[in-house]
Amino acid sequence: MTDRYAVIGNPVGHSLSPRIHAHFATATGEDLTYRTLPADAFGVAAEGFFEAGGRGLNVTLPFKLDAFVWVAERGGGRGAARAAGAVNTIAVSREGAHGYNTDGVGLLRDLEHNLGVGISGRRVLVLGAGGAVQGVLGPLLDAGPHRLTVANRTVSKAERLAAAFAGVEASGLPDLDTDYDVIINGTSAGVAGGRPPIEAAGVQDAFCYDMFYTLEGETPFCRWCGECGAARTADGLGMLIEQAAESFFLWRGVRPPTRGLAQSLRA
Ligand code: ATR
């Protein structure tokens, strides 16, 4: 029987995940369907999906925290999800529901494998201190940066993350150092067409990565960094694809090919 998967969120109609997973299924010959699952309340919708035989869910905004609690109540909050405090992937087995967070793995695989940007020994700055950033700090630390700073408009949120993740430094945006090799925008400023307000001098000669992405042109952060003399810029479409590949692997035990998919989604 064809196995059923979905991405749950609100709104979720714009999600690229069905296209990405359809590509993975075709490439690997796995028999599955993957659709969007719009929901007002996470628990009710997830319960209904799994009771009807669904095998796995991806979880997007605004439900990653709800999913973490939901899975933990079923005894399955574990692995990367625990440090991330958020779940973006749920798999069910006979033992129950298991929660994972594949965002950090996706970011690292895009940076290190696809883009050739090593984190080990580098000075890394992450902008923003919301759920998206919290989800990737564990894997970033594991990659062995020389320095990892979280800078946020509301400095208390950066300080909270620094207290929770040993090895992370906190900063506000105005008092930021300018000596970083890799700068990662994890704020949601791009959603409203903006970018975090940092000094242009800071991005000069740095590799600048935007966890936000756009299919057409450049994100506001990437465009601005390029104008300020960044060595290179990239947006988060590759991260989206790689976190999806990791979910697919968790569900199916098969690693799907990702090469060339970003270009075909943009085309
Ligand atoms: P997400 O789950 O996408 O991380 P979030 O938890 O609401 O969303 O966090 C959004 C992050 O983007 C926060 O760090 C926020 O800064 P504040 O904590 O000061 O609100 C940051 N952010 C959003 N818009 C921003 C902007 N225009 N400039 C700078 N930071 C911004």
> Given this model, what pLDDT does residue 48 score?
96
The per-residue pLDDT of the chain, averaged, comes to 94
Of ligand 1's listed atoms, the one at least distance from the Cα of 194 is: 27
Burial 246-258 (b: 16+ CB within 10 A, else e): bbbbbbbeeebeb
pLDDT digits (tens, 9 = 90+) for 181-219: 999 999 999 999 999 999 999 999 999 999 999 999 999
Atom 16, ligand 1: residue with shortest CA distance = 153
pTM of the model: 0.95
Active site residues: 64
Band (pLDDT 50/70/90 cuts) for residue 243 is very high
In whole angstroms, give the CA distance from residue 131 to residue 134: 5
Q: What is the pLDDT of residues 61-94, one digit of tens each?
A: 999 999 999 998 876 555 566 767 889 999 988 8
Which one-letter amino acid corresponds to residue 167?
G
Q: Whose CA is nearest to atom 8 of ligand 1?
A: 130
pLDDT in tens, 217-236: 999 999 999 999 999 999 99
User: 31 phi and psi, to 5 degrees?
Assistant: -90, 95
The whole-angstrom separation of Cα 60 and Cα 28 is 24
Any atom of ligand 1 within 6 Å of the Cβ of 128:
yes
Report the pLDDT averaged over residues 1-13.
95
Q: Is 154 a pocket residue for ligand 1 (Cβ < 6 Å)?
A: yes
Phi-psi region of 149 (alpha: psi -120 to 50; beta: other; left: phi over 0): beta
Higher pLDDT, 249 or 93: 249
